[in-house]
Amino acid sequence: MSTPDELELRFTLLTAVARYDALRARDALASPADEEDSVLTPPDPGAEPLTRGEALELLALGEVIARKAGYGRQLSVRSARRAGASWSQIGAALGTSKQAAWEAHNRWIDEQAREDGRDGHWGWDENDVAAARTLAGPPEGEDAE
């Protein structure tokens, strides 16, 4: 069985999405498991249902995509801060409050610090963490826009 941790090492975000999309499309086009589903999803006679392993891979790939997209999201938050965006602007771009955006970013920084020194993982040392926290700044009192 494929786990998200195994697949995360094998796939980039782009290749994980491509594999996920191929499995999901095949799953959607295959004959439904029961007759009630057949009204909502007409089967494609050429589409083979997913095997148990493929169905589990599909689930694991969804988790890999969420992880990789979440990491990319925080890199984009860091880029926005570097470009001068306020936490209110970042929160609005993410559809959340400035406080929630700031807290999520700081949790991400904490995760990067925890990864430092783990076998097979790249993380941030204390200098990287300090620089990231300086760039993040405080969430309140900065919005004189």
Contacting residues for 81 by C-beta, under 8 A, at least 6 apart: 90, 135, 136, 137
Straight-line distance from the first to the last Cα atom of the chain, in angstroms, rounded to the nearest whole number: 51
Which pLDDT value is given to residue 143? Answer: 46
Which pLDDT value is given to residue 144? Answer: 42
- Strand ranges for 1-144 from DSSP E: none
What's the pLDDT tens digit per position in 13-43? 999 999 999 999 999 998 665 555 555 555 5
Q: Is the pTM of this model over 0.75?
A: no
- For residue 130, how many C-alpha atoms fall within 13 Å in the half-sphere facing its CB? 3
Query: Could you state, in order of their start, the residue ranges of all structural domains in the chain?
Result: 1-69, 84-145
What's the pLDDT tens digit per position in 99-128? 999 999 999 999 888 887 766 667 788 999
What's the Cα-to-Cα distance from 52 to each of 2, 18, 22, 48, 75, rounded to whole Å? 11, 19, 16, 12, 35
Q: Supply the DSSP string of 114-129, one letter for each residue.
A: HHTT-TT-----HHHH
What's the pLDDT tens digit per position in 44-80? 566 789 999 999 999 999 999 998 998 889 999 999 9
